[in-house]
Structure 1
Amino acid sequence: MSEQTKPMPLSGYTILDLSVMTAGPVGTMLLGDLGADVIKVEEPAHGDLARDLGNQFVNGESVQFMSQNRNKRSLRLDLKSPAGKAVFLRMAKTADVIVENFRPGTVDRLGIGYEAVRAINPQIIYASASAFGQSGPLAAWPANDPIVQAVAGLMDMTGEADGLPVRLGAPLPDFGAAAMMALGITTALLHRERTGIGQRIDTSLLAAALFSTIPRDGETIRSGKAPSRLGSGHPTMVPYRNYEGADGKYFFAACFTEKFWTNLCRVLGRIDLLTDERFINNTQRTANRHLLDAILEDAFVKQPADYWVKTLSEADVPCAAVQDYHTALTTDPQIKHTGAVLHFDHPVAGPMTNIANPLTLHGTPVELRRPPPVLGQHSEEVLREYGFSANEIDALMSNGVVKGSRLKDVAVTQPAE
């Protein structure tokens, strides 16, 4: 891990990141991984809300915050004060991108919204990510990822058939919005390179959540019925679910083509199922899923789950062991091979891990250049870069408009590459 030493796809672009929690910070982290200089502008007292969330802290640093804020610099700035607003607008004059994910209208009330910035920097790309969008009956609702899951129908379609609606195990609307925002920003930057014109970008967790339900939308509107909860099963493909082996462990088998269904029947020695009218095609298998699942369950319970994963995979049937998340991150050979888990040293928390950027650019690979910043770690450094004199910085610090960090008198060292 080191400072940027070679050009990357987004080298030279500066992002002023006002966002908090998950969707905005993950989106800007993706861009920081690609070389953008992401300056995280944080509320002076506590910073990003994620710094105080949950119950996992290492030497006072939030694990949640550190998971989604690498490759950024932190500036503690009081945007509610006139002096803080002036500092931000001075920085915004030369910034390329501004990102925020407050409730709609918040940045306008602070005097740092799109129109205020565009007046001094017409080429600015101004990206907003919200729960429900910038307008509409739910725009001002207090909300986060699971609230959006509930509204979008994701929660209702998740869970066992005879159980209650279930929150998804990971905040997928947050990450969908983060990805869409990052895509929108890079697209807008490309457009600006071609035309010289900046623009405003708007995305939401709700829009991302609904987009992620494709192709459930067509099935639902066509049938006139909401998807049923099927546990690990699929509404239109059978067999396609978790099954239990003789050892009580589970594996997932997915026969989404006739080829895979045929291969499964051959492995089980049940060629007769291929000509059984109840299972003759996917439509019939779906209509008779309970009958077929009973047959498959009786067969699968005769051997351990690992046996079925090996045997079915070798027979070209898509399947995998259902492993817990800790196992996936620490011992899975494919995940290890892809380098999906990054290791770095944090100046306060010490050795930590992150999930790597999922994008691989073979010519200009992403880099872990900076660990997640300590609150206010780069306040003075950033202001100096934006032309603030030593006297100006001292005045801002003494008035509490800008604050440094607890690392002010500590040398922050980076591990060798």
Structure 2
Amino acid sequence: MSKETGSRLPLSGYTILDLSVMTAGPVGTMLLGDMGADVIKVEEPARGDLARDLGNQFVHGESVQFMSQNRNKRSLRLDLKSPQGHDVFLRMAQTADVIVENFRPGTVDRLGIGYEAVRAINPRIIYASASAFGQTGPYAAWPANDPIVQAVAGLMDMTGEPEGLPVRLGAPLPDFGAAAMMALGITAALLHRERTGAGQRLDTSLLGASLFSTIPRDGEAIRSGKAPSRLGSGHPTMVPYRNYQGSDGKYFFAACFTEKFWRNLCQVLNRADLLTDARFIDNTRRTENREQLDAILEEIFATQPASHWVQVLSQADVPSAAVQDYHTALTADLQIKHIGAVLHLDHPVAGPLTNLANPINFHGSPTQVRHPPPVLGQHSAEVLRQFGFSQEEIDGLTSQGVVRGSRLDDAAVHDEAKGR
């Protein structure tokens, strides 16, 4: 069990050994860390999590990508490939509550730290795996990441303009879907253990999470016998439901997903005739005749700026919003500021940084940021002491290179951080 404070948090007292790298696993464990779990990020000693070297944005050598998805964790640099490192991990696993990994299937078993090895010494363990395609099957061993899964799941094929090429989603939806499902599975498994005393293994995949995220496209595709067409910002079964352009060249989205909203739109546009037009009499007809209706609406919307239409439609109770860029959304949108979606943290090396907040609001036990994203190996000795290792043992493991500290141990880095 964790020795951390913060007992009012939902997952306080649970310890997670986090072996995961990149995005899906780390985001899932970050969600759990926000809720109070003591997440110990076990990293290979040379470079750590692969995300520490990815991308092209670094602050004083710290990866922006890594820092976005690893708060509320402590970092332990441990060589799992060495016999001593293997023994250290299993000793920690004896009292841990959860282990998370997202390596290729079979990797943890080859290291001797898979579910069966841990269960033999800790039958109450919750062992969670997240992989690209699942633990077994014809694709299980394929090298893959988020866009590869988007391609296999059909997400890429249904995204883009009608006459254009398949397009990768702008955000890594498979990664985040798997992260959320894994976090949900772990919390449910912990509840099951509280009731029964039994641990268990669970696994999820980016592929499974991606397919699940396509609801209700699944039913439509099976029933129609064909894949959804690429419709740009449009919708396969609802019209009008897409981006439109104002006279200023800017875009806004209008979403008439009920007949009430369609009636409100026609009334505010002073086009009551459209309500009785046989081509548009209901959503089925509008979908069949989307090109004719869109041509009418495009002509109307081209007469005023996008901001005018957003105001007019919103006041008429028609769902609409300006299409704003991501930077504007994060830094200037009033509602995003109001809900506290952007956190401001202080990193020991990178200095001030922003993170996206946990989107779950616990009114009785709100989430907390107890640790900024860790520097590689920042908490190695601290974590081992927590698990009962003596200073002599820690010194021995460190001298053998099985365990390593962080660059914060270097006084020059301390000085750089203080003087930034």
Task: Work out whether the TM-score is over 0.5.
Answer: yes
Q: Which residue of 1 aligns with 2:264?
A: 263
Partner residue, 1:403: 404
- For 1:182, give the aligned amino acid: A
Aligned match of 1:386: 387
Task: Output the CA distance in 2 between the equivalents of 1:347 and 1:395.
Answer: 27
AA in 2 matched with 1:38: V
1:201 maps to amino acid: L
Distance in 1 (CA, whole Å) between partners of 2:5 and 2:260 is 49
After superposition, where does 1:9-408 map in structure 2 within 5 Å? 9-408=10-409
Cα pair 2:42 2:76 within 8 Å, conserved: yes
Instruction: Give, in whole Å, the separation in 1 of the partners of 2:34 and 2:383.
Output: 19
Q: Distance in 2 between matches of 1:6 and 1:384?
A: 21
* Structure 1: 4+ residue segments shifted above 2 A: 3-7, 409-412
Q: Distance in 2 between matches of 1:401 and 1:160?
A: 52
Question: Aligned partners of 2:396, 2:409: CA distance in 1, in Å?
Answer: 17
**Contact 2:251/2:306, CA 8 A, preserved across alignment:** yes
CA distance in 2, matches of 1:357, 1:86: 35
1:102-153 alpha-carbon deviations (Å, 9 max, x no partner): 0000000000000000000000000000000000000000000000000000
Give the whole-Å Cα distance in 1 for the aligned partners of 2:51 and 2:162. Answer: 35
Q: Look up the SS of the partner of 1:127 in the other structure.
A: strand
Q: How far did 1:6 drift? A: 4.2
Superposed displacement of residue 7, structure 1: 2.4
Distance of 2:296 and 2:60 partners within structure 1: 54
**Maintained 8 Å contact 1:17/1:41:** yes
* Amino acid across the alignment from 1:351: P
SS at match of 1:407: helix
Alpha-carbon distance between aligned partners in 1 of 2:259 and 2:179, rounded to the nearest angstrom:
36
Partners in 1 of 2:325 and 2:95 — Cα distance?
46
Task: Report the residue type matching 2:354 in the other structure.
Answer: T
Q: State the Cα deviation string for residues 23-57 of structure 1 (Å, max 9, x = none).
A: 00000000000000000000000000000000010
Q: Distance between the aligned counterparts of 1:30 and 1:109, measured in 2?
A: 28
SS where residue 409 of structure 2 aligns? Answer: coil
Distance, in Å, in 1 between the alignment partners of 2:130 and 2:299 is: 49
Structure 1 Cα separation of the partners of residues 398 and 7 of structure 2? 34
How many residues are treated as equivalent by the alignment? Answer: 412
Determine if contact 2:248/2:306 at 8 Å carries over to the other structure: yes
TM-score (norm 2): 0.97
Task: Letter of the 2:293 partner, please give it.
Answer: L
Structure 1 runs not aligned, ≥5 long: none
Once residues 67 and 38 of structure 2 are traced to their aligned partners in structure 1, the CA distance between those partners, rounded to angstroms, is: 17
| Partner SS state of residue 343, structure 1 | strand
Whether the aligned pair in 2 keeps the contact of 1:51 and 1:64 (CA below 8 Å) is yes
Q: Find the aligned partners of 2:334 and 2:389 in 1 and give their Cα distance.
A: 50
Q: Give the distance between the partners of 2:65 and 2:230, measured in 1 at CA.
A: 30
Contact kept in structure 2, 1:243 and 1:251, CA below 8 Å: yes
Equivalents in 2 of 1:148, 1:241: separation in Å? 26
Conservation of the 8 A alpha-carbon contact between 1:4 and 1:369 = no
Q: Which amino acid in 2 is paired with 1:330?
A: T
Letter in 1 for 2:75: S
SS of 1:344 mapped into structure 2? strand
Q: Secondary structure at the match of 1:40?
A: strand
User: Contact 2:6–2:12 (CA<8 Å) still a contact in 1?
Assistant: no
Determine the C-alpha separation between the residues in 2 that align with 1:394 and 1:167. 48
| Distance in 2 of aligned mates of 1:186 and 1:404 | 31
Q: Secondary structure at the match of 2:253?
A: strand
Structure 2: where are the runs of 5+ without partners? none
> CA contact under 8 A between 2:7 and 2:13: conserved in structure 1?
no
Please give the root-mean-square deviation of Cα atoms over the aligned residues, in Å. Answer: 1.3
Aligned-residue offset at 1:5:
4.0
State the alpha-carbon separation in 2 of the partners of residues 321 and 358 from structure 1: 22
Conserved 8 A contact 2:6-2:36: no
Distance in 1 between the 2:392 and 2:345 partners?
Answer: 36
